Chains A and B, each alone.
Chain A
Amino acid sequence: MNDSPLVVVEGLRFSRGDRDIFRGVDLTIPRGKITAIMGPSGSGKTTLLKLIGGQLTPDAGRVTIDGHDVHALSRKKLFALRRRMGMLFQSGALFSDLSVFENVAFPLRVHTDLPDAMIRDVVLMKLEAVGLRGARELMPAELSGGMARRVALARALALDPELILYDEPFVGQDPISMGVLVQLIRRVNDALGLTAVVVSHDIKETLSIADYVYVIADGKVMAHGTPESLNVDRDPRVSQFMHGEPDGPVPFHYSADDFYVDMLNAGKAGERR
């Protein structure tokens, strides 16, 4: 197996309006491993996945997947590259006009010439893996958020991609399906040898399956290492995040003026609308 990393992110900069999301991020995602990207809400984890998938263009820096510079590819080549990736969206993003079965079958129908009987077998296998084989006739509007995410996972795995990007796979899952999902992500990784990127802030679950972890905060990589090494990291910011302490060097509040001054100024200025 090729030893070079599958995804390399170099000097990535990205801003939205006046707000800098990334100020020089470097990451390498090794092949066949689960790499977790963690960080507080609003640290741009989802944005990072969209940059890797080529849906957003960085202000500076490069993202290469298997040697291809994602943002220098033509539209056609980018779409060809994406066939080798799967992405699990936070909302599930199922096609609302297709049933659960057809949603999972969609990538197979558009990218392969498989006969219907074989598509049916693959879809049922994928749905069985996420525990929703019985829900195949339902429409996405009839599913709960957690179920929709599991269907989306089945869809993302339908083509057995080389690289799979998970955006918050554990949010909104009950304890049972959470456990199953954690196992599932680990299992498909070991069985198929695919490369996974998990973006999450569920520390316990993520650390239990990740091979390597990056912690992002303030637009930069704050720390990286194996789960074991991060757990004993002495850096106060890392240990605050890893142990979920409310106060410390990483602020809980979105950056704002002094609270006292802000309250006294009510109705005077600052309200932009």
Chain B
Amino acid sequence: MMTRITRLGRHGCDLVEALGRAGMFLGQSLVGRPSAEGFKLWLRQMHFIGVLSLAIVLVSGLFIGMVLALQGFTILVDFGAEDALGQMVALSLLRELAPVVAALLFAGRAGSALTAEIGLMKATEQLSSMEMIGVDPLKRVVAPRLWAGFVSLPLLTVGFSVIGIWGGHLVGVEWLGVYNGSYWGNMQSSVDFVDDIGNGMLKSLVFALVVTWIAVFQGYDLVPTSEGISRATTRTVVYSSLAVLGLDFVLTALMFGELG
């Protein structure tokens, strides 16, 4: 019994210590003067993290928009309310699906790659040798990746929403015959820029911070062995997904709880 309590206590201490390390890590990486060199490194990472995630995010967005329209239509048509399809597709995507699904895909596509890349740099002593050359890997390796993650996920989310709404149009209007004017008209009158688009983007920004932070920290903090890298990569995807879903509920409650 005592040993169990001790173990619980040790787990608690380890957890707090890891959170502290992760916080210090984030602070040390992000504080610093921007430079032309840093901008170039950031741009390179924008390509790896953002541009290369574009395909999977856009394809998923298209299919999710199409499925939403299909499912929504079969329900709405029973009430003769299929004119509200545009509104339904747009609101579901902007408020919920685009930020959450894009973040989950981002964690799987870019997060795991970040963890593995930084972890392998650590295992092969590249980070150590960089330190000995007098270059701080937090500034040179970690910071550009963090900023690239922060910027690219919200942009990917915009792409996800846009193509999802177009996918809904494809199925709803072109295929199932909802009137084109009511698809767009209802959407225009019901979507509020601040409440819907703004809050959705805010969610996406929070997810971007959390997912990128987890991914990069897991890579930097891992045990530098093959097993360590595989575990850390798994942890990145699991922790990020759980964090995104959990935070989504909290944020939704705060943002839309009183909208009614």
List chain A positions with a Cβ less than 8 A from chain B: 50, 53, 55, 75, 79-83, 85-87, 89, 91, 93-96, 106-107, 110-111, 152, 155, 165
Q: Are B129 and A89 in contact, CB atoms less than 8 angstroms apart?
A: yes
Q: Are A110 and B124 in contact, CB atoms less than 8 angstroms apart?
A: no
Within 8 A of A (CB), among B76-121: 121
Q: How far is the CA of A91 from the CA of B136 in the complex (A)?
A: 20
Chain A residues closer than 8 Å to B128, beta-carbon distance: 50, 55, 89, 93
How many Å from the CB of B49 to the closest CB on chain A? 15
B125 in complex: contacting residue of A80, A83, A91, A165, CB < 8 Å = A91
Indicate the member of B126, B136, B140 with the most A CB atoms within 10 Å. Answer: B126
Name 29 interchain pairs, CB-CB below 8 A, sorted by A: A53-B131, A53-B132, A55-B128, A55-B131, A75-B28, A75-B136, A79-B135, A79-B136, A80-B134, A83-B133, A85-B132, A87-B129, A89-B128, A89-B129, A91-B124, A93-B124, A93-B125, A93-B128, A93-B129, A95-B126, A95-B129, A96-B126, A106-B133, A110-B37, A110-B135, A110-B140, A111-B134, A155-B133, A165-B132
Q: Are B124 and A55 in contact, CB atoms less than 8 angstroms apart?
A: no
Q: How far is the CA of A170 from the CA of B91 in the complex (A)?
A: 66
Within 8 A of A (CB), among B122-146: 124-126, 128-136, 140
Chain A residues closer than 8 Å to B132, beta-carbon distance: 53, 55, 82, 85-87, 89, 165
Chain A residues closer than 8 Å to B121, beta-carbon distance: 96
Q: How far is the CA of A271 from the CA of B130 in the complex (A)?
A: 39
Nearest A residue to B120 via CB reads A96
Q: How far is the CA of A111 from the CA of B124 in the complex (A)?
A: 23
Q: Are B133 and A89 in contact, CB atoms less than 8 angstroms apart?
A: no
Q: How far is the CA of A89 from the CA of B126 in the complex (A)?
A: 10
Chain B residues closer than 8 Å to A155, beta-carbon distance: 133
Nearest A residue to B133 via CB reads A107
Q: How far is the CA of A137 from the CA of B28 in the complex (A)?
A: 35
B134 in complex: contacting residue of A82, A89, A94, CB < 8 Å = A82
List chain B positions with a Cβ less than 8 A from chain A: 28, 37, 121, 124-126, 128-136, 140
Nearest A residue to B130 via CB reads A95
Chain B residues closer than 8 Å to A95, beta-carbon distance: 126, 129-130
Interface of chain B: mostly helix, strand, loop or mixed:
helix
Q: How far is the CA of A87 from the CA of B128 in the complex (A)?
A: 10
Nearest A residue to B127 via CB reads A93
Q: How far is the CA of A106 from the CA of B130 in the complex (A)?
A: 9
Q: How far is the CA of A111 from the CA of B140 in the complex (A)?
A: 13
Can you add 19 more A-B contacts, CB < 8 Å, to A75-B136, A79-B136, A85-B132? A53-B131, A53-B132, A55-B128, A75-B28, A79-B135, A80-B134, A82-B132, A82-B134, A87-B132, A89-B129, A93-B128, A94-B129, A95-B126, A95-B130, A96-B121, A107-B134, A110-B133, A110-B140, A111-B133
How many Å from the CB of B224 to the closest CB on chain A? 11
Q: Are A82 and B28 in contact, CB atoms less than 8 angstroms apart?
A: no
Indicate the member of B121, B124, B130, B136 with the most A CB atoms within 10 Å. Answer: B124
Chain A residues closer than 8 Å to B136, beta-carbon distance: 75, 79
Q: How far is the CA of A87 from the CA of B127 in the complex (A)?
A: 13
Chain A residues closer than 8 Å to B126, beta-carbon distance: 93-96
Q: How far is the CA of A89 from the CA of B140 in the complex (A)?
A: 20
Nearest A residue to B117 via CB reads A97
Q: How far is the CA of A93 from the CA of B124 in the complex (A)?
A: 6
Chain A residues closer than 8 Å to B129, beta-carbon distance: 87, 89, 93-95, 152
Q: How far is the CA of A79 from the CA of B128 in the complex (A)?
A: 12
Chain B residues closer than 8 Å to A75, beta-carbon distance: 28, 136
Chain A residues closer than 8 Å to B131, beta-carbon distance: 53, 55, 79, 82
Nearest B residue to A87 via CB reads B132
Q: How far is the CA of A86 from the CA of B136 in the complex (A)?
A: 15
Chain A residues closer than 8 Å to B130, beta-carbon distance: 95
How many Å from the CB of B41 to the closest CB on chain A? 11
Nearest B residue to A81 via CB reads B134
How many Å from the CB of B101 to the closest CB on chain A? 31
Chain A residues closer than 8 Å to B140, beta-carbon distance: 110
How many Å from the CB of B98 to the closest CB on chain A? 33
Chain A residues closer than 8 Å to B133, beta-carbon distance: 82-83, 86, 106-107, 110-111, 155
Chain B residues closer than 8 Å to A91, beta-carbon distance: 124-125
Q: How far is the CA of A79 from the CA of B28 in the complex (A)?
A: 14
How many Å from the CB of A157 to the closest CB on chain B? 12
A79 in complex: contacting residue of B37, B124, B125, B134, CB < 8 Å = B134
